[in-house]
A and B are shown apart, each in its own frame.
Chain A
Amino acid sequence: MSISLFMSISLATYPSIGHQTKANKERQSEKPPLDLSSFLPHLLDLFSLLHSTMGLWFVRSRLAHHLGQKMASLGALQRRSWPSVSFLQLWNPLPSELVGGFSSNPINRWSDQRFASVKAESAAPVDDRCRYQVMDFPGGKVMFIPEMRFLAESPGERISCYRVLDDDGQTISGSSFQEVSKEIALKMYGDMVTLQVMDTIFYEAQRQGRISFYVTSIGEEAINVASAAALTIDDIVFPQYREPGVLLWRGFTLQEFANQCFGNKSDYGKGRQMPIHYGSNRLNYFTVSSPIATQIPHAVGAAYSLKMDKKHACAVTYFGDGGTSEGDFHAALNFAAVMEVPVIFFCRNNGWAISTPTTEQFRSDGAVIRGQAYGLRSIRVDGNDALAVYSAVHEAREMAIRESRPILVEALTYRVGHHSTSDDSTKYRPVDEIEHWRTARDPVSRYRKWIERNGWWCDDAESELRSNVRKELLHAIQAAEKMDKPPLAELFTDVYDQVPSNLHEQERLLRETIKQHPGDYPPEVPV
């Protein structure tokens, strides 16, 4: 018992073990700046402890603990210049045979004795005496055990991932999934393609300087469209900024997208938000707010409202792997579980939060595992498998509404595009990794193979669809660009329900200034 206990302690305190990513390995080649002063105290610790009577196991675990902390702080300061693996190799002064070979270590025998009583008790068979050692504690009965047993930092195996279509777009035999009609299946495909075309053209428009900013959803088309397809229009969506496909599915037109990106007078947001921060009251899609994860508690509030009104609908909120580090994520999951409200938390785990890989974002097995800790039913799903996403969200919605409970869905995917137009992701991740996900793992072509196999799709239909979307979008962009910007008065409306006197005054002064200095203000803005 003691040996396994020690092993688990020391392993638990090495945060890097089991988390060597490709990116991490690559970074090992970089030489980290060695700050001797920072781990000199650890060496001193080591020596003093070696001479103490505490025993080597304790030295090791304590050191490891120190290192864990040190590495955590280093990680925050200089994430990429201090690869954790090489750090471990650097400091470890112990002969390598001791690292894995505790049994041959004489000091270990001492520690066997040290915990002899514990071992004796734990070795005893579970008898009646143990069965009585149960405590009623809020939440249920808690069993007392004589062993000192720490919960492992992770279950031995990673949570498995639900999938329906294999890499070739064939349904995996024995997979359970929600049937999709031809009509829905084709609309799903059409919207996924539209989203791809939209991303390509808007991205280009940004590069040409016609809009200031854009965010693509490339690689996450299945998540966008298939999750939306599994919902109804009555379900309330609290998006982040990489889910325009949900809006597309609900009927937002290309012209409406273009109007928002160009911030013209037909934009529902009246030109007040960056591109991609869409919002539509009509389509139950709440306006995107830039700070990460603030929409998650909103969704819980909306679900609370749905529960109060006994509506047959749920709230759905989307966020990325980075968003799960925000306090709002944790609190919202906890709130939803406690309040038993119908909400689906949809995590798009796409591997990257701008330049931060998930290995530097969290040490848990993704987001899905956290659901259980908060008392939520959760599922991990292949985010590049439209049928799996559709089926999982469909079932999640049914459960959420029927049982009035929150559900967490984690979709594994990859952000094929850059974070935004302000980012060049090839600076921090290998191009072949991006290419692999863009081609071999592309959710759109995988899904296309499935509809083709069903006889619902062909090359002609494909080229016609792409060409039509392209034409329509180019037309929409031209129209959006030509359209007037919102008038000056709109600068002051909607701050409050009515324009208060101080804003009236500010508006008056602004108009006066413009009148006096017309050359200094853009002529195309209606005053």
Chain B
Amino acid sequence: MAAALQTAAALMASSNLVVNSERFRFGSLLRSPAGRKGSVLVVKSDGRHSVSFNAGLRGGHLITNAVAAKSEASAKSTDSKPGHEVLLFEALREGLEEEMDRDPRVCIMGEDVGHYGGSYKVTKGLAEKYGDLRVLDTPIAENSFTGMGIGAAMMGLRPVVEGMNMGFLLLAFNQISNNCGMLHYTSGGQFTIPIVIRGPGGVGRQLGAEHSQRLESYFQSIPGLQMVACSTPYNAKGLMKAAIRSENPVVLFEHVLLYNLKERIPDEDYICCLEEAEMVRPGEQVTILTYSRMRYHVMQAAKTLVNKGYDPEVIDIRSLKPFDLYRIGNSVKKTHRVLIVEECMRTGGIGASLRAAIIDNFWDYLDAPVMCLSSQDVPTPYAGTLEDWTVVQPAQIVAAVEQLCQ
């Protein structure tokens, strides 16, 4: 675990970051018109053209591309190290495959998850290996395939339901809230629903409002649901495996822009705790709480902050429900200052809940008001600049920390 953290940290500190992220960003741009059919494999191969196109579309002053893949040089240098290198979507796939090997009750269902391999290739090759029944392509009806998953789960299977895009899961909201979250309770514990609902979400690269949903806040108040957001290949795999093994319904948030993130992960079996926050960068001055893609915006900002002489502590909260108030509390007690950075909606978002929890629990330890940087309360616009202004940028994070530490 610690090794992986270091790897992640090294990744962020890499000088190749900007170049790589430009590559990634352009790939997404090209991909965006295709929308649902977009493939991460295509993304990679498009990288070469990125520089000119990219510059034309967006102002250079915005550092929006804090997602990175390792350069070839660094990949070579780690060849001798233990573990293996994977992209995030491959890590998710590994997690699925290992759990399907381990437990015959695990099955996958959703649109185009079969031989097509899923829109982001997370289930690639699994239909060939486990058959069409265990990796089930369903007709299009989010509410009903989620309901089907719930029915199967109550019968003892452990379905992993893929929402092709998290935004489409709003169509399944009734099943998720009324049935998935409640039946265990209303049945008096007679029926359990060990289901995993997962899929790509978050603000991508110009995918428009419906494909750029920040749904964490919608789901957070549904009793009975557990929610985690992955952010690195290591925790993606670990959380996927833990979610499948959990007796509770778990919503696993993946981020469209993180699927191509590369990292060296252990060869051996491991899982991540579903309720645990992850220390990304220990520090003394201020606690920055974040998750999913914003972790990389925070790390961009952290680099600047360190250069300016600040020492921020960065925690990826990972568990969106329940919050890991133990680790978060320890950090607050140390730094006495908290900044929350999220992609979620400002009103009623994860950050709002987290801020309330911190004020409730750690008021006496706070030396400054808890700050929260969230996305604007607007549907995510399509145009690149508008989209950039919708989500939190590293410069805002730097400014917020400077204000907090005055």
Contact = CB atoms under 8 A, between A and B. Distances in A.
Contacts of B185: 272, 494-495
Given A289-B179, A497-B247, A334 B186 contact: no
Nearest to B324: A501
Contacts of A267: 188
Given A297-B148, A334-B139, A496-B224, A270 B153 contact: no
A304 interface: yes
Nearest to B138: A335
Interface in A470-497: 493-497
Contact of B147 (A236, A281, A332): A332
B184 interface: yes
Nearest to B187: A287
Interface stretch (A50-58, A115-123, A199-207, A305-313): A305-313
Interface in A71-87: none
B133 A272 contact: no
Contact of A287 (B146, B174, B186): B186
Interface in A216-248: 236, 238
Nearest to A308: B133
A238 to B, nearest CB: 7
A338 B109 CA distance: 14
A268 B188 contact: yes
A411 interface: no
B131 to A, nearest CB: 10
Interface in A246-262: none
Contact of B186 (A273, A301, A304): A273
Contact of B154 (A302, A331, A332, A494): A302
Interface of A: 236, 238, 267-270, 272-273, 277, 279-281, 286-287, 289-291, 294, 296-302, 304-308, 315, 327-328, 331-332, 334-335, 338-339, 493-497, 500-502
B178 A502 contact: no
A279 B187 contact: yes
Contacts of B179: 289, 294, 298
B147 A297 contact: yes
Contacts of A286: 154, 183, 187, 191
A281 B184 CA distance: 11
Contacts of A501: 322, 325
A384 B70 CA distance: 71
A352 to B, nearest CB: 24
A-B complex: 10 closest residue pairs judged by Cβ atoms: A301-B151, A297-B147, A298-B151, A331-B144, A331-B141, A301-B148, A287-B187, A301-B152, A305-B155, A497-B247
29 contacts: A267-B188, A269-B187, A272-B185, A279-B186, A279-B187, A279-B188, A281-B190, A287-B187, A289-B179, A297-B143, A301-B148, A301-B149, A301-B150, A301-B151, A302-B154, A305-B152, A305-B157, A315-B151, A327-B141, A332-B147, A334-B139, A338-B139, A493-B189, A494-B187, A494-B189, A496-B224, A496-B226, A500-B275, A502-B323
A308 B141 contact: no
A335 to B, nearest CB: 6
Interface string B165-189: 0000000001100110011111111
Interface of B: 107, 133-134, 136, 138-139, 141, 143-157, 159, 174-175, 178-179, 182-192, 223-224, 226, 246-248, 275, 322-323, 325
B190 A238 contact: no
Contacts of B223: 495
Given A272-B186, A331-B139, 8 more contacts: A279-B188, A281-B187, A289-B178, A298-B154, A301-B152, A308-B134, A335-B145, A497-B248
Contact of A496 (B154, B187, B248, B323): B248
A236 B188 contact: no
B143, B159, B174, B188 interface centre (most CB from chain A within 10 Å) = B188
B143 A306 contact: no
B124 to A, nearest CB: 22
B208 to A, nearest CB: 24
Contact of B148 (A272, A304, A493, A500): A304
A306 B186 contact: no
Nearest to B104: A308
Nearest to B133: A308
